[in-house]
Structure 1
């Protein structure tokens, strides 16, 4: 398995700054008859679509969610998500205008409130987090807010099949992790001399993954916005059609704001074509800012070996350094911890946990990085998962690949910080 992952880690990025005309969507390849397809746990990307916006009364009352308030959001049957056969969805959750320090938790409707959080934020915060959440009663997700009042926006980007009900759609995608590596960094971009991306600009990128290039239906990326000159947002999507009414990263001026993103691709087109036929995607930014893109994996077209399927879980806390769960005590500057999740979640490199990682009140501006433990050829990645500022409690989604003994590393760069990790599902290799 390490050999396969090593091959997937090779690649470079091609960049174009002009708008491109996308080719028609390619037919989904299939090696078996539709009757023989088992789509359980496979992923289906959709065009980013807004499901809920409490500022406008979309999918919820037109009002901020109050203290200990809940909203039951209908997901199944909306935004490209089928009415049945869906086990979980991938959404981007944006918090805007909160009146108090708080957190929001998304969990299956009809289930008890878990000891877990999806987005942690301070009063007045503007930001987003990628959340994978299991569907509950009648295909709904419950949104809970702990303190104060806040507006909540939810955009859907994809869903997972609960069983074989969706086999008529053809084979869904399976996940392939690879070593985190940088795809694009505007600070070192030779095409612009390291200048910031302009407000209202479109960045067209392609990701080259060895011989697997044509097989990526979606890419799993970390998109970081650095030192924006005004409040704004970034949207990443396939590039087909206009910019969706959805966002990927929301940010305040002068901040460093990352977010995990599942980005649907489009077929190779125009100047972005490579000999391997790598698919492309587009990033739009509303404010002048630096943009950094790191790659963590891809969702295939169902034809590749070793792809992992997804199993949704009720949110479960596996690390809280404040209480000694998983590992005890705040992480100091340069501190790296090795953590073993509960054995029931997996004990080897076949497992990738879908987690939400929260940095709690760091004493300095810092970087938090998570990666698999005990691989002799796997040093500390260049890419980061969280970039919290001093005193900031902030969350970020992490696809947490385990090492050969079922463990992972977590590292804090500067100051000291407490960490909390919640699991919402896992990828497994059947």
Structure 2
């Protein structure tokens, strides 16, 4: 145990939490002379948590035992405190993992409280020091006295991913005052690997692009000319082409379209050079033209693979943006689902369908929870309905030249949704161009990108829900009005139990008994939103991407009418850092 009466205690390269509160004129307490880290035991007791008695952290376990640090001060206020838990650079190196890998693998939920109330509860920000150490940092907090003494606790509920090798990690808990004084205690971790691979996803920020066509097998764009045969795949070079940099790209956002299909089937989009997953990205019937938005990690060579299951199909892919590891992109904030446009009722725009060769302009910034400035792109679920003839829809930044890319393709009378990520124009608007006939347009806001918010960690595609075989704990078709609930945040799905702000899913409805729609939303107990994510008729198989806020109690899937099987494939998750 040691006390430091100096500033600059925290690891090199760290950034102190902002908003430190000034010391008040009330009686000031001294930092405690020592800290008392302990861990719970199986019999309901506790035992010391020290360098000699490390906490055993089991890999692949969502919820390990609680460990806590007791803070016993002297009467008075302790204001502007910060706390940290640091794994030393030497033990990071000895573990064989990098500090960034460990930051993804070991994710504790931390609760801070004093004698009378809970102060905060959540995931602390990970900071990699210049020396290679890993620190988890709290925001500033106050401890106030009760019964003549200042008493506080910091509770750690550790969650740990799978990993191929065990490691002993030397950890130090530190409590630091606003003046820079600190008290520390050693508290080691003994990570016990389960032998499975560790998560490989790398966090990235988003760089939006005005949609650009990167692949069209009908005209030899991005691949040889000709349809893709059964059991065959196309490799598309993403990095270093079409405005995407050659390095630092963690994932790409593509609008993928299957057309000229000769057989019922599906397409799977996945990182080139990796094993093809069981997940699907879009589903179609013979003769259909079907688009879907796909977020997929790029392979080590900067490519993605597009696999066709049955028959032959032409493939088209338009890039709408990419995630980069260099930190220069935008971060995501959830803001829905919220209906922001409906031409049937005059929501957001005039009450009138979009005409042939017509354009509808929608103001997206400064309303519906989207800031008035600083927004680079928005995520919308766009639906075309009441179409008088077959056509397509293009969504693009207002005030810019309309691209050749398309976002939705539909036939007369069809209702077709598709998730769209689109940059906003300089005036905060986006444009919707309708090619032929008339069609009503509906748009539900999912979120936006700006300078603050969450980073994206790609993980998939990974199947996390399938009501046909019980994957995800749902063992039967989803009935009308009886939502299925999926606990997405779990290491069994490749993502941490804590700190996940939103998840990117590809949701498929199959075997429906009636025309219906599905809404995907956080299971918080609040009212279900009026927005929809999928629309389908009886016996149709329809897939659509969804980015939905995550909740401690999981994600809910509501089916409006009849019954339908639901399948969900996870593309990745959004987290604070």
> What TM bracket, shorter-length normalisation?
0.7 to 0.9
What stretches of structure 1 of length at least 5 have no aligned partner? 1-35, 269-278
Aligned to 2:560: 413
Give the secondary-structure state (helix, strand or coil) at the position aligned to 1:292.
strand
Question: What residue in structure 2 maps to residue 3 of structure 1?
Answer: none
Alignment pair present for 1:260 and 2:408: no
Cα deviation, 1:275-305, whole Å, max 9, x if unaligned, reads xxxx1111111121001111111011x1x3x
Q: 1:231-267 CA deviation, whole Å, 9 max, x = no partner?
A: 1111111124321010111111110000000010012
Q: How far, CA to CA, are the matches of 2:334 and 2:407 in structure 1? A: 21
Instruction: Give the structure-2-normalised TM-score.
Output: 0.62
Deviation at 1:99, TM superposition (A): 0.7
Paired residues of 1:349 and 1:401 also in contact (CA < 8 A): no
1:422 maps to 2:547: no
1:31-46 to 2 correspondences below 5 Å: 41-46=204-209
Which structure has more strand as a fraction of its residues? 2
1:53 to 205, 216, 226: 216
1:182 is matched with which residue? 339
Are 1:325 and 2:471 matched, yes or no?
A: yes
Question: How far did 1:193 drift?
Answer: 7.3
- Alpha-carbon offset, residue 62 of structure 1: 1.2
CA deviations on 1:95-120 (whole Å, 9 max, x unpaired) are 11111110000000000110100001
Deviation at 1:212, TM superposition (A): 2.1
**Equivalent of 2:434 in 263, 285, 298:** 285
Where does residue 173 of structure 1 map in the other structure?
330
What is the alpha-carbon distance in structure 2 between the residues aligned to residue 264 and residue 362 of structure 1? 35
Cα distance between partner residues in 1 of 2:498 and 2:425: 33
2-structure distance, mates of 1:158, 1:280: 18
Asked if the contact 2:407–2:420 (Cα under 8 Å) also holds between the matched residues in 1, the reply is yes
RMSD of equivalent CA atoms: 1.8
Runs of 4+ more than 6 Å apart: 190-193
Alignment equivalent of 1:114, drawn from 277, 288, 291:
277
Following superposition, the deviation at residue 87 of structure 1 comes to 0.6
Report the equivalent of 1:297.
447
**Contact 1:352–1:426 at 8 Å: present in 2 too?**
yes
Q: Is residue 154 from structure 1 mapped to residue 328 from structure 2 by the alignment?
A: no
Determine if contact 2:239/2:302 at 8 Å carries over to the other structure: yes
Q: Specify the alignment match of 2:457 in structure 1.
A: 311
8 Å CA contact 2:386, 2:440 repeated in 1: yes
- The alignment covers a number of residue pairs equal to 370
In structure 2, the CA distance between the partners of 1:191 and 1:154, relative to structure 1 (3 Å rule), is: closer
1:213 to 338, 348, 372: 372
Q: Which of residues 69, 90, 96 is equivalent to 2:253?
A: 90
Q: Deviations over 1:162-199 (max 9, x none)?
A: x22xx5xxx31100002211111111128997432101
Deviation at 1:228, TM superposition (A): 1.0
Structure (1/2) with the larger helix percentage: 1
CA shift, 1:227, in A, is 1.8
Larger relative contact order (Cα-Cα within 8 Å, sequence gap ≥ 6): 1
Judged with a 3 Å threshold, the aligned counterparts in structure 2 of structure 1 residues 115 and 411 are, in CA distance, closer, same or farther, namely same
Query: 1:356 aligned to 2:519?
Result: no
Aligned-partner Cα distance in 2 for 1:211–1:131: 24
The equivalent residue for 1:383 is: 531
Does structure 1 conserve the Cα–Cα contact (< 8 Å) formed by 2:400 and 2:425? no
Q: Distance in 2 between matches of 1:204 and 1:128?
A: 22
CA change 1:78–1:294 in 2 (3 A) is: same
Question: What is the CA distance between 1:211 and its match in structure 2?
Answer: 7.5
- Structure 2 unaligned spans of 5+: 1-129, 131-201
Contact 2:389 2:412 in 1 (8 A): yes
